[in-house]
Amino acid sequence: MHIDKYKIYNMHHQWKNGKKMKDQIVGQYLNSGDYCCTRPRDFISMITELYHSWNLDSEKEVTIEVTFKDHEEHKY
């Protein structure tokens, strides 16, 4: 099994007048593009490194959504 595409978002709260806003915005974003073919263990390693790099070891909730789709014809 390989991961064909991914999008990773790192969300942050905004601050206004010294108060934390309710809504969060995208702080950092990483997109694989149309086709990447990453092994799951490499992907987990990558998102672990991104998590620590982007958040400086602060605690964040992590949500992962996975979709299994039939392959479409690849256009190379």
State pTM to two decimals: 0.74
Residue 61: inside a domain, yes or no? no
Q: What is the pLDDT of residues 47-64, one digit of tens each?
A: 999 999 999 868 888 998
Q: How many CB atoms lie within 10 A of CB 66?
A: 6
**What pLDDT band is residue 71 in, cutting at 50, 70 and 90?**
confident
Output phi, psi for 60, to 5 deg: -135, 155
Q: How far apart are the first and last CA of the chain?
A: 20
Q: What is the pLDDT of residues 6-22, one digit of tens each?
A: 999 999 989 899 999 99
For residue 14, give its domain range.
7-55
Q: What is the pLDDT of residues 20-51, one digit of tens each?
A: 999 999 999 999 987 778 899 999 999 999 99
Residue 46: inside a domain, yes or no? yes
Residue 25: inside a domain, yes or no? yes
